[in-house]
Structure 1
Amino acid sequence: MVVIGLGTVWVLDGLEVTVVGNISGRLSEPGSGLPITSAQITGITAALYVAGACLGALFFGRLTDRFGRKKLFLITLALYLAATAMTAVSFSSWWFFVFRFLTGFGIGGEYAAINSAIDELIPSHYRGRIDLVINGSFWLGAVGGSLLAIGALNTDIFPINVGWRLTFALGVVLGLVILLVRRHVPESPRWLFIHGRSQEAESLVSSIEERVESERGEKLPATDEKITIQPRASITFREIARTVFSHYRRRAFLGLALFIGQAFLYNAITFGFGAILTTFFDVSTSDTGYFFAVIAAGNFLGPLLLGKLFDTVGRRIMISGTYLLSGLLLFGTAWLFAAGHLSAMTITACWAVALFFASAGASSAYLTVSEVFPLETRAMAIAFFYAVGTAAGGISGPLLFAELTSSGVVGDTALAFCIGAALMCLAGLTAAFLAVRAERRSLESIASPLSTANAPSR
């Protein structure tokens, strides 16, 4: 229930981002119903979506720590549904821009609320792999968005001004299904306890334990770990900032490096890959979905197949290894592209292999910032690093990528590849020195709650 109710939001995000990337060529064609250019879609629209996600993460992140995980992950999903529905009925470019921003605003809020709830509900021995697979499910949505675009953009089936609208309508339908499941996902017992609602937390945990004991036919072992909590209503921004940037400044630097690297790379690729295929390889706008589906499948398989190693081999080796290896593979792809050795199929294959590792690394960025800071700051920390990292890489990435690819010069696009690869390598080197060995450890042992008498570890 937790995985389906909370994790599937990444499917929606993947659907949203990929659909826009794949329909960019169709929206810019005469008769689409919108006076908009391909460069505006891959540049301005992409940047507005990411900017909305950054601001939404910060806004809802603070509310999530204050009012609870469950209230906010219901509100943010409702906002996403409304904004996506309004996007589907866009009649002008400004309307389209406004509601893409608001869609991002809702999705950004989801990141803070959902990652907090997931990590606080998943057992420590499986937290790494579950978190990675859930974050990697973004690419299931990307596969769906790519294949959906193929049918929706076929003018033999739908008129040119209707098909792209149906892609957004499907997002609304999926969101409504997720909302029905999500209503039954419990509040985080950790959040309940820290806010003085200990009886609710005890009742919730007891019911889960009773269900597990009934299914397994044996009593669960008692824990020998104890901490003393002094409930508190809220944490000030000043205390959050002091905790994250003073007590945990090495972890803060790590979070920024991981998010900036993956945000630049992924936002540039997802919004710009369709333009590369049509500009340099003469691929029809109706066929770009096939190529992107291959890349998206590789991205999902990365966290799925490598996720277990983050719990067994360990965080430091796997985070640094996936970032560095993907960066080196991307440098190789840039060289082959610049030398003219790639076709539409082979560049897709190169991207799929490189992003197999990059996707696991990118998912581990969310895992890292959600488990290495104290409970009271968790949602806000996720929001901050997502917002700052994504603003630095996710807004500049699409804008720069759109500028370089629209020139039609091979060298310019290869340069964009190299920038993304360099940032991934730098993040990997940072993780090699600063990543926290959080595998199979309770969240409280990684970072003591601020409500305990224990001083935070560095």
Structure 2
Amino acid sequence: MADAGDGRGGQGGAGRDGGGAAITTSVPARLDRLPWSRWHWMIVIGLGTVWILDGLEVTVVGNIATRLSQAGSGLHITDAQVTGLAAALYVAGSCSGALFFGWLTDRFGRKRLFMVTLVVYLAATALTALSTRSWEFFLFRFITGFGIGGEYAAINSAIDELIPSRHRGRVDLIINGSFWVGAVGGSLLSIVALNTAIFPVDLGWRLTFALGVVLGLVILLVRRNVPESPRWMFIHGRGEEAERLVADVERRIGDQTGRELPPAEGEITIHPRKSIGFVTIARTVFTRYPRRAVLGLSLFVGQAFLYNAITFGFGSILTKFFNTPSDETGYYFAVIAAGNFLGPLLLGGLFDSLGRRPMIAGTYIGSGLLLFGTAWLFSAGHLSATTLTACWCVVLFFASAGASSAYLTVSEIFPMETRAMAIAFFYAVGTAAGGISGPLLFSDLTSSGKVGDTALAFEIGAALMVIAGIVAAFLAVKAERRSLEDIATPLSAAAAPAHTPA
């Protein structure tokens, strides 16, 4: 049920969509003032659940490495190739997919690309399950990562542009944290897949990938109903479509609640543009917003190294130092993964109420200090497999909320036209740091069998996390409950300032 003020925004833009003529619209204000509804749940389920698939993918592959390398698995592949080469190719695919699809998402729209990237993921995962040669497995792991990387850029852009500003922090954190729901499922699923009393050696691992395809198809059916971002529409000269879409959502929510929506306060005038060049994107991110660029890089690199310090060698740490059977490490990882999800779930609301700066800085610094404490307890010989897992669980409870806020931060602090590409860039840097530099740094430390080396790995991850938290304490943007257009003025806005403070 649109109010009278809404109509002025729509009429102001009518007939002026083409040729770069100015469009005046209240669409952003109308989206931000919507009450939570079934429509928003549809967006969360249709877009956010893909992180569960990513968590499932990454965890399953790591946990079934021993089964893939076993004689009779149907693949001539070694343990090291699964956890090394295949993992590196998945990371490389994620980075390149994020950059490639991020650029296309800003150019051609959120909906078109979040459909394409999911199809790429589904096809590659299905082909992985059917692999009969090692090179096929490696190729399809790269393509799977390529699709997942594209998902991060397209999905985070769409979610932030469709969710009301007062809920954006909580929803974004929980959605990004849902990766660990998939990790729990992957850990438990791998335990079943490794049981040859249930599945033959050459079938169990294939069924785990097939399950990912089934879940992805369900998500695809829901995602078909998720609309294009109205914010992207009016900036790309489709103002009338954006107005109709928002008016339809308002009518549906009004019918559901039985109440009139409050008036939308605020309009914006923009000059539509079809695309933004790489030079303009780079200049915007690094010249207009240098402090925000430093913030984004710090958050992504810090969380990447902390996570690799713990998760990269967690299995070998448990088996080498505590004689934990390798087929039981999945249970320990499931506990860690549960702690990771509970962090964003329980702390997410505070990012909208207490604010971004104290919560980002607090979760980063707090998790880093807790990991320092864990390193000391470990080096002093005070921990068992159970208590070390408990320490990791507490560390990652806070670290996961912080890591999820990194995605939230880079998706809301840069202008609309650069959003997907900015997400892609910082994601690629963080993923490369964690997936390439991290293993190179931590592999020798966590596999040496020396207590001091493993404690040093913890301390390196903790130090980088604390440094990132200190950067956030000074540079984090107070974005809570603010419109995206207020946080970073669109490049297409009429009378946009020549220089925006960093």
State if a TM-score over 0.5 links the two structures.
yes
Map 1:14-163 onto structure 2 (within 5 A).
14-163=55-204
Output the CA distance in 2 between the equivalents of 1:21 and 1:54. 19
Q: Which residue of 1 aligns with 2:305?
A: 264
Q: Which residue of 2 aligns with 1:288?
A: 329
Deviations 1:12-49 (A, max 9, x none): 01101111222233334444343433333333322221
Moved more, 360-369 or 23-32: 23-32
- Opposite residue 149 of structure 2, the aligned amino acid is G
- Opposite residue 289 of structure 1, the aligned amino acid is G
- Opposite residue 158 of structure 2, the aligned amino acid is A
Cα pair 1:20 1:271 within 8 Å, conserved: no
SS at match of 1:283: coil
The normalised TM-score by structure 1 is 0.96
Output the CA distance in 1 between the equivalents of 2:70 and 2:394. 33
- Opposite residue 381 of structure 2, the aligned amino acid is G
SS at match of 2:270: coil
Q: Which residue of 1 aligns with 2:390?
A: 349
Output the CA distance in 1 between the equivalents of 2:89 and 2:123. 17
Over alpha carbons, which structure has the higher Rg? 2
Q: 1:342 to 1:161 in 2, by over 3 A?
A: farther
- Opposite residue 111 of structure 1, the aligned amino acid is Y
Residue 283 of structure 2, aligned match among 229, 242, 258: 242
Deviation at 1:423, TM superposition (A): 1.2
- Opposite residue 164 of structure 1, the aligned amino acid is W
Q: Which residue of 1 aligns with 2:371?
A: 330
Deviation at 1:81, TM superposition (A): 0.9
Moved more, 53-62 or 343-352: 343-352
Output the CA distance in 2 between the equivalents of 1:38 and 1:283. 19
List runs of 5+ in structure 2 lacking aligned partners. Answer: 1-41
Q: Which residue of 1 aligns with 2:469?
A: 428
- Opposite residue 454 of structure 1, the aligned amino acid is A
Output the CA distance in 2 between the equivalents of 1:272 and 1:89. 29
Deviation at 1:271, TM superposition (A): 4.4
Moved more, 23-32 or 68-77: 23-32
- Opposite residue 376 of structure 1, the aligned amino acid is E
Moved more, 397-406 or 300-309: 397-406
Output the CA distance in 2 between the equivalents of 1:102 and 1:279. 34
Residue 183 of structure 1, aligned match among 224, 227, 234: 224
Residue 406 of structure 1, aligned match among 420, 443, 447: 447
Q: Which residue of 1 aligns with 2:292?
A: 251
Output the CA distance in 1 between the equivalents of 2:346 and 2:152. 23
List runs of 5+ in structure 1 lacking aligned partners. Answer: none
Deviation at 1:242, TM superposition (A): 0.7
Output the CA distance in 1 between the equivalents of 2:68 and 2:319. 14
SS at match of 1:228: strand
Output the CA distance in 1 between the equivalents of 2:67 and 2:138. 16
1:10 aligns with 2:51: yes
Cα pair 1:21 1:274 within 8 Å, conserved: no
Q: Which residue of 1 aligns with 2:207?
A: 166
Number of equivalent positions: 458
Deviation at 1:385, TM superposition (A): 0.7
Q: Which residue of 2 aligns with 1:454?
A: 496
Q: Which residue of 2 aligns with 1:226?
A: 267
Residue 239 of structure 2, aligned match among 194, 198, 203: 198
Deviations 1:216-275 (A, max 9, x none): 222112223121111111111111111110110100000000011112233554443233
Seq. identity, %: 76
Moved more, 311-320 or 271-280: 271-280
RMSD, matched Cα: 1.5
Output the CA distance in 1 between the equivalents of 2:371 and 2:316. 18
Cα pair 2:313 2:447 within 8 Å, conserved: no
Deviation at 1:332, TM superposition (A): 1.6
Cα pair 2:364 2:399 within 8 Å, conserved: yes
Q: 1:167 to 1:378 in 2, by over 3 A?
A: same
Deviations 1:343-398 (A, max 9, x none): 22111111111000000000000000000000000000000111112212332113
SS at match of 1:218: coil
- Opposite residue 458 of structure 2, the aligned amino acid is F
Q: 1:99 to 1:406 in 2, by over 3 A?
A: farther
Cα pair 1:128 1:311 within 8 Å, conserved: yes
Q: Which residue of 1 aligns with 2:427?
A: 386
Output the CA distance in 2 between the equivalents of 1:268 and 1:75. 34
Output the CA distance in 2 between the equivalents of 1:35 and 1:268. 30
1:367 aligns with 2:408: yes
